[in-house]
Structure 1
Amino acid sequence: MTPSTVRNGNSPRLVFDASYVAVVHTAFASAAFVSALCLACLLHYKKVVRNDVAQWPDEWWPSVSATIGDWYPERNIFQILIALTSGPRFALVVLQYFLTRSPTSSWPTFIFISGLVRTLSCGGWVYITSSDDHDVHDVLMITYMVCNLPWMLGGIAFTPKTNPTAIRRRCVAPSFVRRFFVSLIPLIYFFIQHKVHRVPGAYTRYSFFEWALIIFDVLYDSVAELDFKEANLQVCSDLSDKTQVSNPGIEPSVHRKTPADDIQQLNGTSASPSEQGSGPRNWRSIILEILQDIRPVTGFAADVYLSYIFWSIFTSLVPTLFYFSVWELGIAGTELALLSTLSPIFLGFSPFLSWVRTREGRTTMHVLSLLGLAAYALHRPGHRLLVVTFATAALVIRQVVDWTGDDGHGVEYQGILLGLGLIVSSLSKHANHANNPIWPIVNEYSGGYNKTGIIIAFLAVYELHSRPSHNRQRQTTEKTARTQHAVAGDVRHWLTSAIPLGSLMFSLHCLLSDSSTLIAWSWTGYSNRRAQGPQPNLHGSITLITQSLGLLIPIFLASRQPHFLTHPAWFGYGTISSFVMYQYRDWLGYIGGLNLAVFLMSIIPQVLNSAASASIGRVATTYFLAWLVTCLLDLANVWTVAYAFVPGGVYLRERTDLVLFAQMACLALAFDWPRMKKSAVGLSLPGSVKSYARTLLALLSVSSVLVTLYRWPSSPPQPHHPGPRILTAGIWTVHFGIDNQGRDSQRRMRDLVGDMQLDVVGLLETDLHRIVYGNRDLTRVMTEELGYYVDLGPGPNSHTWGAVLLSKYPIINSTHHLLPSPHGELAPAIEAWLDVYGTEVLVVIAHNGQEEDPLDRELQSRELARIMARAYPHPTIFLGYVVTEPFAPQPAPYDILVTDGKMHDVDHEDLDRWCEYILYRGLYRTSYARLSRGLVTDTELQLARFVLPKHGFGVTNETVEARTLRAFKEELSKDHWFPMDYYGKGKNFHSYHVFGT
C-alpha cells in the first residue's frame, strides 16, 4: 500500500505500510557502505589498502574501518548516509518490538533493549573511527557484535508463527545469521595472522570476512519487511488542523491493518473506536508500555549488579587488610577486620532482624555497604580499611537477608544471582588487567572506574527501593515448604547446612574469583618455544565460559531433576576434579580445574536453599557459622605459605592438600548420603528468570572471548636495541603489587620498566593468585602494553611468594625450581633459556629465604650455583634476591653463587647491597645502575646493560681488569645510556643513587 491520507472524523490521517521502514533502512545502509567502498577504491586505493604490516600489492582489498573512517570524501558521505539511516533503524527496532511483544514473555523486551544498544553502539564505532580513538572504536564494535547475538537469534525465535511468511523468514533469516557467526571464525584467524604473526596479505583476507559481516547484518534487518507486510502493520499520523490549538502537532500511532480497514479507506471512512477494539494508540502509550515491560529486565539487571557489588567489596576486604601484614611480615592486628564477615550474629536480635527485612532496612544496608566503594577516595590505607570493614559488615547482613528469601524472591533466584555476580566480577577483572575496576585499592590512576561504579550502584539501589512490592504468596509458600522439611531442634540439620555454605563461599573466592587463578595452578612454563599449558591473558575466557556452563546446570535441571545436584555421584565428580587439579599440571590440571568450576557453580542454588531451610528460627547461628567456616578456611589457606610468620603455621606448612580436603569434606555435608538423607525443597525458578539468566550467561561468555581478542598481543615482543645486540636486564622485588599507599602498583611498575627499556626483567614477590592479594595477575599491564613474553614461575599450589620472568626475547625452555628449604619459607626459582639475537642465553630468577634461616639460604644458594655451573660456558645472567653481603665467605650465599656458580658480580665495588644481586658471564657489561624505590615498593630496582658477543664468538677477556674498566657515558654511544630523566631528583620519585652520578 502506498502512503495515503484518510479522514478520521474531522482529522485526516497519514497512513503507510511499516514495511517501507525496512526498505528505506536497507537502501540507506547499503548506499552508505557501497558509496564509501567505491569512492575509496577510486580515489585512494593504494592508501586505503595499506596497513602497518604490508601494502599494495600484498594487500589489495580495503578493510571496513579504513574505508569508512580514514579519507575524505568517502568518510563524510558515509557518515551523512548513516545519519539518515538512524531514523529508520530506531523505527525498525520499535516496530519489531510492537510486533513481537507478548504479555506472557519478557524476551521481546530484552530483544528490544539489545536492538537499542546495538543501534547506539553502531553509531559509536561509525563516528568514532579507529583513527580517532582505537580503544573506544574497538569497545563499541565489540558491544555491537555482542548485541547481535540476542538481536538476531531472538528475532528469529519470536517471529510470529501466525504469519503466512513465517516459514520463509525462518528459512531466510537464519541463513544470514549462520553466515554471520560462521564468518567470525576465519575473521579471528586472519586477524591473528595479521596482528600476531604479521603475515602480509592476511589483512586482505580478514577484510573479506569483515565485509561479509556487514552484508549479512544488513540483509538480516531487511528481512523484517516480510514480517511487517504479512502482519499488515501500518504507521499512522493524525494531521490535526493547524488552527486547532487544543490538539497541535502530530500524534503518530501504530496498528495492524485488517481487510475492513482497506474497505473503509476506499470509502473515505474509518471505523469508530468501538469497532476497532481499543483503536490506534499514540507513541506515548506505546512508550509507557515499553517502559512497563522493561521494568522486570531492569530489576534483574539491578539485582545482578548488586551481586557484583557484593563480590567486589567482599573480595577487596582481605587485600586491604593484608597490606599491613606484609609490611609487618607477621600478624599486624588488622587481621581482626576479617571478623566483620561474622556480622550475621547481630541478626540474633529480633527487632534488628525484623527491621532489616523491611524495604527501608534492606535499602539502608545496601547504601551502607556502598561505603566500601567510596573508600577508594581515602588516601591513607588505615582509613580505607576501617571503611571497608564497616561496609563488609553491612554487606554480609543484607546478603544474608536476601539468602533467606526475605527479599520477596526465591532462594534459588538468589543462588543464580550469586553465581552471575561472581562471573561478572571475574569478567571485569579479565577486561581490566586482573583488577576489579571498583575495588578501593584502585583509583583512576591505577585502572579504576570507581565513580562510574558508584553511580551505577546507586541507580541499582534506587531501582530496588522503588520496585513494586512483590507478591508474597510464592515466598510464603516456599517458606512453609521449608518449614515442613526443617526438623525443630535438629542441631545436625542446621550444622550440615551452614558448614557447606561456608566452604562454598571460600571455594568460589579462592579458585573462581579470577579467570586466571586455575591457570596459575597448572602453569609450568615453556618447552620448545611454546607454553606447555594455558596462558592467563589468552585462555582466561575458557574459565569464564566453563563457569557459565556450570551455572546453567541448575537452571535447566532444577525443575526436572531436583535431586540430581545433591546426589553423591555428583559430589564424586567434584572430588575427582579437585584431585586432578591438585595432582596434575599443564592442560590436564587445568581441565581438572575447569570441571571443578562446573561442579562449584552448579551447587550454588542448592546449598543456599539448604541453608535457608535450616535457618528458619535460627538465622543468626546458621549464617554466623557459615561465615566462620569461610574465615577459618581463609586463614588456613594463607598459613600454607605464610607459616613462618604465624603461630602454629608449621602444622599447615605447604599443605594445600589438607585445605582442599577440608573444603571438599565440608561440601560433602550438602549431599544426600544414605544415612544423612535430607528432604530438600526442589528448586524452582520463574520462566522469565531462566530466560534472563541464560541470555546473560551467553552474553558474558561471548564478551569474555571478545575481551581476549581485544587484549590479544598486536605483535610479537621486540627488543629495544636489536642492532647493537644490547640486552638490558633488571631485578625488582615488587612487594606483591601493592605500593606504599596501599594501591595496585602495576601501572607505576609499567612506567619505570618502560622508561628503563628493560629487555629481561625478574620480578619477585609476585604470586598474587591468593585471597590475600585479591587473586590478581601482576604481569597483565606490562605484557599487554609493553610487549613481553611472560613466565609466571611456580604457582600458588607451590607455596612460594612467587617469581616472574618478563622477556623481550623468545623463551625457548623454562624450568621451575623449588629450592631446598628445610626450616624457612619455600624459595622459588626460574631457569629459562632465551633466544637472544640467535644465541641461547640462560637467565636465572630466584628469591632466597630470609636471614633467620642460614641453612636454608646456604642450601638454596648451592642449588642455584649448581644450575648455573651446569650451563657453563654459555652466556648466563642471574637476577635474584639473596640475603647476603658482598664478598661474604661461604657458607654465606655470595661466594657460593660467584665461585661455585662460575659467575661474575655486576659491580664488585658496590658494597651497599644486601638483598638484590645481578651476576653474569659470557657477556660484556657496559652499564649498571640502581634506582631508588620511589612509591612502588620497599626495594630498589637494579639494572645492568650488556652487549652480546658476535654470533659464534665468546668474550675474549674476562679478567677483573677488563670487566671493571670505567668510562664516562659520553665515551659510549647513546644506546648504552640510561634515561637522563632519572638523574638528580629523578622522575616519579625514582632516581639513580649510591654512586652520585
Structure 2
Amino acid sequence: MASTTAKPKPFVFPAATLARVHTVLALVAFFSALLLGCALHYKKIVKNGVAGYPDEWFPSVSATIGDWYPERNIFQILIAINSGPRFALVALQYYLQRTPTSSIPGFLFLVGVLRTLSCGGWVYITSSDDHDVHDVLMISYIVLNLPWMFGSLACTPLHHVASRRRRFFASIVPMIYFFIQHKVHRVPGAYTHYSFFEWALIILDVLYDSSAELDLKAADLKITIGSWAEGPESSKIIAKVTQEAVAPSPVVQSSVSTGQKEKSVQKGSDKVASNATAKQSNHLLSLARPSIAFASDVYLSYIFWSVYTSLAPTLFYFSVWELGISGQELALLSMVSPILLGIPPLRSWATTRDGRTILHGLSLIGLAAYLLPSPLGRLLLVSFASASASIGVAVDWLESQGEEVTNQAIVTGLGFLVSSLSKHANDGNNPVWPFVDDRSGGYNKTGLVLALLAIYEFATRPSELLAAPVAPSSTDSTKESKEVSPPTKHWFPASLALGGFIFTIHSLISDPSTLIAWSWTGYPIKGPIPNVHGSLTHVAQALGLGLATFLSRPGFSADALAHPAWLACGASSAYIMYAYKDWTGYAGGLGVAFFLMSIFPSVWAYVAQAGKSRVARTMATTWLVVCLYDVASTFTVAYAFVPGGEYFRERTDLVLAAQFACIALAFHWSRLLPRRSSTTAPSSRATPSLPHGRHFKAQYTLALLTTLSLLATLWHSNWPRIVPRPHREAARIVRAGIWTVHFGIDNEGRDSQRRMRDLIQDMELDVVGLLETDLHRVVFGNRDLTRVIAEELGYYVDIGPGPNQHTWGAVLLSKFPILNSTHHLLPSPDGELAPAIEAILDMYGTEVKVVVSHNGQEETPLDRELQSTELARIMSESYPDPVIFLGYVVTKPHAPRPAPYDIMVTDGKVHDIDSDDYDRWCEYIFYRGLYRTAYARVSRSTITDTELQIGQFVVPKRGEGIVDDSKDARYMRAWKEELPVDHWFPMEYYPEMGGKRGHFYHVFNTPLYYKVPGGASL
C-alpha cells in the first residue's frame, strides 16, 4: 500500500522584507561596533596621529570597525550575513527596473555588484591591515555611489514620491574639509568633526538603500518558497518571485537538494525551468552587453592614445643624447602606415572583425615593449604598434557611416579623456606607457590584461553590436576616379583638418596641467596650481564633449558646433590663452579645451564624408600633417641643434595659428554665404545623430571621469604625505642642490622621477634647482616632472617659464616658503632662450635670494656673455643680502672675461662654492651672506648625464651679518668629525661603503667640510 505524504504549503513573504533585513543588519553591525568600541577601547579608538583624548573624543568609522576585538569580529560577522540580502536587493532592483529600450538598469546592476564588492573590501581590509588598499576600496565605493544613486533616481518612477525623497547623498564636502584640517594642518579635534560626517555618510548610505523597500512594496513583489515531490527519495525547494497586477515576468527560481545539497534554477517543471533559466541569463547578458561593448570601445580608444602619445617620447630619447637629428626621428613616419590601405586586399581584411581584432592585438606590442631593456628595441616595437594602431583607427574613423561616425567620434574623445585622466592620477605619467614600469609608477601588466579582455569582448561581440563599415573599394590606391559615388568634398582639406585637430588636442590638453604651465607666473601665486586645479581642465573637456553628445541626440543637431561663429569663439580663447597669464590666460585655455572637445563629432563627420572613398591617402596625409606639426613645435625650442631651426625661434604663435587654420577647414563656411533660394537643400555634411542608448552611456561615462578626476585632485593636492619643512631647523642649516635632469628620461630611456626623488630624499635637500624640466611638449609626453618629488617629499614648487616661453625649463623646489619669484628670459640673440628663476625664500626668518638658471652653450659665446652679465646684475642688485645661485653656466673655473665665471663672481658679488675645485664645466653654486659648511658632488648613476652638486650653508640669525667674509675665514677646511652630526652627509654614499643605487661621492670621494668662523652669530 503506497504511502502518501502531505505536500507542505508554500511559504510566501514580501520582497520588501529583504530590504528591511538589510537595513536592520547594517545598522546593527555599525552601531554594535560603535557601542562596544566605546565601552571597551574608548581612548584607543579616538586616538590618532595628531592627538588623543580629550582633544579627540569621537571615533572614526575605520578605527571603530577595524582595530580591536571583539567589535571588529562582531561587525564583520554581521556584515557577512548582510551580504546575501544586499546582493538580493541589487538583483531585485534590476528585476523591477529592466526594460528592453534602455541599458541603464543593466549598467546599474553592474555598478551595484561592484559597489557591494568594494564595500566588502574596505570592511574586511582595514586601514591597519593595508592603508592604501583600504583607501582605494573606500574611494571606489564612494565613486560608485554616484552613478548608483543618480541612476537609481532616474529609474525610480515619478509616482514613487516617498522613495524619491529618501534617495539623497550628502556630507562628503564637510568630511573632506575636516580631513584636510586633520591631515594637512594637523588641527587637534578636527578628526572628531570629520568622524561625525563619516558616520553620517554611512547612515545616509544605509538609509538610501532602505528606499528599495518602498519600491519593492509599491510593486507588490513577493517571494514564494514551495516544494514538490520529485521522487520517493528526494525533494526540492523552490523560491519563486512574483509580482501582482503586472504583466508576467521571467521567474527567478533557485532550488536546494536536501539529499545532495545541490543548487539549481527551476521553473514549473525541469524542462521549462531549464529553458527559462537560459532565457533569463541570455536576457541579462543581452541587456548588459551593449554597455560592456561601449566600455571596451572606450578602453581600446584609450590604448590607441597611449600608444600614439608614447611614440614621440620614446624616439626623442635619441635626439636628446645626440643634441641634434639622430635619424631615429624617422620612426614618426610609422604613423603614416594607413597608406598601406591603398592595397585592396589589405583594406578588405582590415575592415573585417578578424582584421580589426588582429590590429588591436598588434597595437598591444607597443605597451608590452616596457619589458625590453634596450631603448632602441622599445622604439622598434612602439613604431610597429603605432603603425598597426594607425591602420586600425583609419578603418574605424573613415569606414564608418551614418550614426556610427558620431559614435566613433564620441568614443575617441572619451578614450582621449581617459588617457589624460590616467596621467593626472599617476603623477603625470600614463601608467601603460612603455617607458614607465613598476619602478617608475607604471601599471603595465594591469593595462595589458584589461586590453586583452577588451579585445576578447570585441572578438566575441554579437554582430548586431558591431559597426557596419563601408564596403572597401578595390581601386583606392590607383583608380579612385572610378568610384561609383565620389565624395562631394575633396579629401585633402579633410586631412589637414584632422591632422591639425589631432596635434592640437595632443599638444594642449593631453595633460591637464599643460594649460596651467602656459599661464604660470610664479609667487605670490595669482593663478591656478597644476596639482590643485588640473581637474578644471578635465571638467572643461567633459563639458565640451558632453555638449557635443547632447546635441547629437535624435531630434537635436550638432551642426551649430560646425558654424564658423563657434570657431571664432575657440580662436578667441586661444588668443587669450597665448597673450595673457594667470587666471585670465588659464580661462582662455579652458575655453580652448571646451571648444576642442566639442567639435569631435563635427570634425569626424566632415572627414568621414570627404575621405571615406580615399581612406589610404586621407589618413596617410593626416598623420603626415601631425608629424610636421610635431617637428615644428619642437623646433621652437631645439632650433640651436637642427638645420634651419632658427626660423622657428619663438614662433609658437605662428604654429598655434597654423593649427587653427587647419581646424577651420572642417567648419561650414558656406553658412556665411547668402542662400540662393529658399529651397536650398540642407548641407550634406550634417553631423549624424547618436543613438539614444549610446548618448546616455557617454553622458554617464563623462560624469564618472569628471568625478574620478576631482577625487584624484583631492588625493594629490590635499593629502600630502609631508608638509614642507626644512630638515635641520634647530641648526639653521640649508642644503641646496643643482641638477640637470635630462628631461626626466634616464640613460635606459625610462622615466626617472622616482629615482630622482630617492636621491634628493637621501641627501635631505632643502632647496633644489632642476634644469631641463619643461616636459609639457609632445616630444616629452606632456609630463609634469615635479609632481612625484613635490608631493611625496613635501616641497613648494616654482616650475619657471612655461612651454610657450620656448626654453628647456628650470624648476625651483623649496622646503622654505617662497615669498616672491620672477621668471626671466635671459638675453639670447644667437642661440636658445635661457630661463632663470629669481626667488626670495624665507629661511628661518631671513630673506634669501635664490637664482636658478640654464645658460647658453659653448657654441654661442655672445649669448653666454650677455646672460652672465644679466645674472650678475640680478645677484648684485640685492647686495649685501644673502644669495644662493644654482645654475648651468658652461665655463671653466676662473675663466677670464668674456667667459661667464669672472663676470658672475666679480660683478655678481658672490663667492664660488669652492674655488679650488677645477674639475667643473657646467654646474656651479655661488653664494653670499651665508656660512658654507659643506660641499658635495654626487655621481649621477644612470639617471642623467650630469652629477648632483650640493652646497650646505648656515643662515646667520635674523638681522645678523657675516662676521668674517675673508677667504681665509671661508676656507678653514675641516674633517666631518670636527662639525656637529647635523652637518654630516650620508655615510652610505662613500665609495668605500659601496655607494647606494649607483650613486657615490666622486671627484673628492668625500664631501668637503668647512669650519664656521669664530664669533659667528648662529
For the criterion TM > 0.5, the same-fold answer is: yes
Which one-letter code corresponds to 2:1004 in the other structure?
F
- Residues 474 and 907 of structure 1, relative CA distance in 2, 3 Å threshold: closer
Which one-letter code corresponds to 1:630 in the other structure?
V
Q: Does residue 421 of structure 2 align to residue 445 of structure 1? A: no
Q: Does residue 658 of structure 2 align to residue 658 of structure 1? A: no
How far the C-alpha of 1:885 sits from its partner, in A, is 0.6
Residues 868, 900 of structure 2: 8 Å contact kept? yes
Unaligned runs of 5+ in 2: 249-265, 474-479, 674-682, 1007-1018
Residues 563, 671 of structure 2: 8 Å contact kept? no
Name the structure 2 match of 1:89.
86
Name the structure 1 match of 2:1014.
none
- Residues 251 and 463 of structure 1, relative CA distance in 2, 3 Å threshold: farther
Q: Does residue 985 of structure 2 align to residue 991 of structure 1? A: no
After superposition, residues 690-709 of structure 1 pair within 5 angstroms as: 690-709=695-714
Give the secondary-structure state (helix, strand or coil) at the position aligned to 1:51.
coil
How many aligned positions are there?
A: 961
Name the structure 1 match of 2:1015.
none
Q: Does residue 656 of structure 2 align to residue 669 of structure 1? A: no
How far the C-alpha of 1:167 sits from its partner, in A, is 1.8
Structure 1 counterpart of 2:329, from 311, 335, 338: 335
Structure 1 counterpart of 2:606, from 605, 610, 614: 610
Which one-letter code corresponds to 1:582 in the other structure?
Y
Which one-letter code corresponds to 2:658 in the other structure?
A
Which one-letter code corresponds to 2:745 in the other structure?
I
Residues 33, 64 of structure 2: 8 Å contact kept? yes
Name the structure 2 match of 1:904.
911
Residues 251, 282 of structure 1: 8 Å contact kept? no
How far the C-alpha of 1:64 sits from its partner, in A, is 1.5
- What CA deviation, in whole Å up to 9, does each residue of 1:352-374 have, x standing for no partner? 11111111111111111110111
Name the structure 1 match of 2:396.
402
Name the structure 2 match of 1:269.
none
Residues 738, 950 of structure 2: 8 Å contact kept? yes
Name the structure 2 match of 1:229.
217
Q: Indicate the larger mover: 494-503 or 813-822.
A: 494-503
Which one-letter code corresponds to 1:467 in the other structure?
R
After superposition, residues 40-439 of structure 1 pair within 5 angstroms as: 40-161=37-158, 166-173=160-167, 177=168, 180-181=169-170, 183-241=171-229, 250-257=237-244, 286-406=280-400, 410-439=404-433
Q: Does residue 775 of structure 2 align to residue 768 of structure 1? A: yes
Name the structure 1 match of 2:263.
none
Give the secondary-structure state (helix, strand or coil) at the position aligned to 1:451.
helix
Q: Does residue 904 of structure 2 align to residue 889 of structure 1? A: no
- What CA deviation, in whole Å up to 9, does each residue of 1:518-549 have, x standing for no partner? 1111111111xxx2211111111111111110
How far the C-alpha of 1:414 sits from its partner, in A, is 0.7
After superposition, residues 538-687 of structure 1 pair within 5 angstroms as: 538-559=532-553, 560-674=556-670, 679-687=684-692
Q: Does residue 945 of structure 2 align to residue 938 of structure 1? A: yes
- Residues 490 and 289 of structure 1, relative CA distance in 2, 3 Å threshold: closer
Name the structure 2 match of 1:3.
none
Rounded to whole Å, the distance in 1 between the matches of 2:750 and 2:247 is: 71
- Residues 284 and 722 of structure 1, relative CA distance in 2, 3 Å threshold: farther
Rounded to whole Å, the distance in 2 between the matches of 1:447 and 1:731 is: 25
- What CA deviation, in whole Å up to 9, does each residue of 1:498-532 have, x standing for no partner? 211111100111011111111111111111xxx22
Give the secondary-structure state (helix, strand or coil) at the position aligned to 2:96.
helix
How far the C-alpha of 1:13 sits from its partner, in A, is 4.1
Rounded to whole Å, the distance in 2 between the matches of 1:513 and 1:594 is: 13
Residues 408, 470 of structure 1: 8 Å contact kept? no
Residues 253, 281 of structure 1: 8 Å contact kept? no
- Residues 227 and 329 of structure 1, relative CA distance in 2, 3 Å threshold: same
Rounded to whole Å, the distance in 2 between the matches of 1:945 and 1:26 is: 62
Residues 20, 225 of structure 1: 8 Å contact kept? yes
Name the structure 1 match of 2:677.
none
Name the structure 1 match of 2:865.
858
- What CA deviation, in whole Å up to 9, does each residue of 1:200-230 have, x standing for no partner? 2222222221111111100011111111112
Rounded to whole Å, the distance in 1 between the matches of 2:327 and 2:235 is: 72
Rounded to whole Å, the distance in 2 between the matches of 1:716 and 1:471 is: 52
Rounded to whole Å, the distance in 2 between the matches of 1:115 and 1:929 is: 58
Rounded to whole Å, the distance in 2 between the matches of 1:629 and 1:86 is: 56
Which one-letter code corresponds to 1:230 in the other structure?
A
Rounded to whole Å, the distance in 2 between the matches of 1:906 and 1:491 is: 71
Q: Indicate the larger mover: 665-674 or 852-861.
A: 665-674
Give the secondary-structure state (helix, strand or coil) at the position aligned to 2:807.
coil
- What CA deviation, in whole Å up to 9, does each residue of 1:543-584 have, x standing for no partner? 111111010111111241332011111000000000000001
- What CA deviation, in whole Å up to 9, does each residue of 1:170-195 have, x standing for no partner? 2232xxx1xx23x2222222222222
Rounded to whole Å, the distance in 2 between the matches of 1:457 and 1:633 is: 30
- Residues 31 and 505 of structure 1, relative CA distance in 2, 3 Å threshold: same
Rounded to whole Å, the distance in 1 between the matches of 2:672 and 2:499 is: 19
Residues 408, 471 of structure 1: 8 Å contact kept? no
Which one-letter code corresponds to 1:876 in the other structure?
V
Q: Structure 1 vs Structure 2: percent identity of aligned residues? A: 61
Which one-letter code corresponds to 2:825 in the other structure?
L
How far the C-alpha of 1:46 sits from its partner, in A, is 2.5
- Residues 106 and 771 of structure 1, relative CA distance in 2, 3 Å threshold: same
- Residues 478 and 209 of structure 1, relative CA distance in 2, 3 Å threshold: farther
Residues 877, 919 of structure 1: 8 Å contact kept? yes
Structure 2 counterpart of 1:963, from 961, 967, 970: 970
- Residues 302 and 898 of structure 1, relative CA distance in 2, 3 Å threshold: same
Rounded to whole Å, the distance in 1 between the matches of 2:267 and 2:68 is: 55
Name the structure 1 match of 2:252.
none
Give the secondary-structure state (helix, strand or coil) at the position aligned to 2:868.
helix
How far the C-alpha of 1:492 sits from its partner, in A, is 5.8
- What CA deviation, in whole Å up to 9, does each residue of 1:291-336 have, x standing for no partner? 2321111111100000000000000000000000000000000000
Give the secondary-structure state (helix, strand or coil) at the position aligned to 2:668.
coil
Name the structure 2 match of 1:32.
29
How far the C-alpha of 1:751 sits from its partner, in A, is 0.6
Residues 191, 202 of structure 1: 8 Å contact kept? yes
Give the secondary-structure state (helix, strand or coil) at the position aligned to 2:304.
helix
TM-score (norm 1): 0.93
How far the C-alpha of 1:255 sits from its partner, in A, is 2.4
TM-score (norm 2): 0.91
How far the C-alpha of 1:12 sits from its partner, in A, is 6.0
How far the C-alpha of 1:51 sits from its partner, in A, is 2.1
Residues 348, 472 of structure 2: 8 Å contact kept? no
Name the structure 2 match of 1:268.
none
How far the C-alpha of 1:493 sits from its partner, in A, is 2.6
Name the structure 1 match of 2:760.
753
Residues 409, 475 of structure 1: 8 Å contact kept? no
Residues 344, 623 of structure 1: 8 Å contact kept? yes
Rounded to whole Å, the distance in 1 between the matches of 2:42 and 2:612 is: 74
How far the C-alpha of 1:132 sits from its partner, in A, is 2.0
How far the C-alpha of 1:274 sits from its partner, in A, is 10
- Residues 675 and 603 of structure 1, relative CA distance in 2, 3 Å threshold: closer
Rounded to whole Å, the distance in 2 between the matches of 1:283 and 1:85 is: 26
